[in-house]
Every structure is written in C-alpha cells, then in structure tokens.
Amino acid sequence: VSNAGVGMAGPLECQSLEAMQSLMDTNFFGLVRLVKEVLPDMKRRRGGHIVVISSIMGLQGIVFNDIYAASKFAVEGFCESLVVQALRFNVAISLVEPGPVVTEFETKLYEEAERADYSRTDPETAEIFTNLYLRNSRDVFASLGQTPEDIAEHTLRVIEAARPPFRHQTNVAYTPMAALKHADPSGALVTEAFYKLVFKYDAVLRLSLR
C-alpha cells in the first residue's frame, strides 16, 4: 500500500519550483520507487496486489491545487499505463481515490495557506484564494470530509476483493464531478460548471454545504 503524500494549495506564482519538485518527489516518484522495488518479485511469483492511495484530484483538477493535482494525475497515468502489463503476471493494481479526508494533513495545509505571503501574485488572485477558496474549502471539509478510518475500511475492501478494482472512489458525492468530465471530451462542460460554482454561485455552494 502506497500512502505517502504531501499537499500544496495556493496561487501558482507564490509557490517555488523547489517546493513543487519536492512534492512531486514524494507524491509521484515515491510511488515509482516503491513499485520498482516490489514489482519484480511479484512478477516472478506471478501474484501480488499494489494499492495506491490516489485522490479524486487525480481525475479532476481543482482550482488552486495545480501542483498537487498534477502529481495525482501523474500517479493515475503511471498506474493506468502499468496495469495491463501487471495483469499479464497476475499482479493487481488498485487506485483508491478519496475526496476530502479530515486529518492533520489538511489542517496543516490550510493553516500554512492562511499564513503565506501572497505579494508575488496580483491582489485579485490573492483575494479569490483567501476569501473564496479557503472559506469554501472549510465548508467542503466540514460537510463532505471522510475520516481516516472510513478510508481505511474502503482500502481494506479493495484489498480483500476477489477481483480487485482498478479504481475505487470512496465518496459518492464526487461521482457526478468525474462523470461530468467524461461526458464532454472538449472539457467545456466541466470548466463552465466549475467557473460558475466558484465565481457566480459560491454563496449557494456554501449554503448547500452547511
């Protein structure tokens, strides 16, 4: 089970390249190093199961989570490319895709975001992040957040499955979001939906979450 991960949220201009590289080294290359270690023996034994804790943000990018989403997209692409070869050797690969999970991971991330220096971006972007994104994120976590124990139960079900699924989403609230993206290959539908949700109907969003 690969579960290592770090987060990053905020305006792109305010994040250093070094911090981005460090995040990718943990979230993506950490997984790659693990798989390189365990896969050869699994292939020799013609049996095994690699379970990767991914994220719903590996399927859909979320505003101000550019680099974190990129790392999870990389995880998803890596596993999607590898799964067919692995099946030839009777090795299963499963991606567990949670939405918000209420842990110290998220608490620390948002505390750091509130203290960060946004002088390297324009005032409008800083205002959108601090007054729209951070405020709405707290409501999302309070309303839709899962416990670590819940994610562990989902992961256990994936491990014990007779035919392990390749993808398993833990929160049904995010299924429509993933479906919306696949419904329109041009990307216009989901882009417009998120734009309206963030910039036009954010008050309705907060009210519905509460």
Could you state, in order of their start, the residue ranges of all structural domains in the chain?
12-209
Measured CA to CA in angstroms, residue 30 lies from 146, 158, 170, 187 at distances of 25, 21, 23, 30
Asked if 9 and 113 count as a contact pair (C-beta separation under 8 A), the reply is: yes
Q: Which two tokens stand for residue 91?
A: 């090795």
CATH of domain 12-209: 3.40.50.720
**Which residues are the active-site residues?**
68
Q: What is the pTM of this model?
A: 0.89
Measured CA to CA in angstroms, residue 182 lies from 78, 154, 179 at distances of 20, 24, 5
Q: Digits of tens for pLDDT over the chain (210 positions)? A: 999 888 899 999 999 999 999 999 999 999 999 999 999 999 999 999 999 999 999 999 999 999 999 999 999 999 999 999 999 999 999 999 998 888 877 777 777 777 888 889 999 999 899 888 888 787 777 778 888 999 999 999 999 999 999 999 998 887 887 788 888 889 998 888 888 888 887 666 666 655
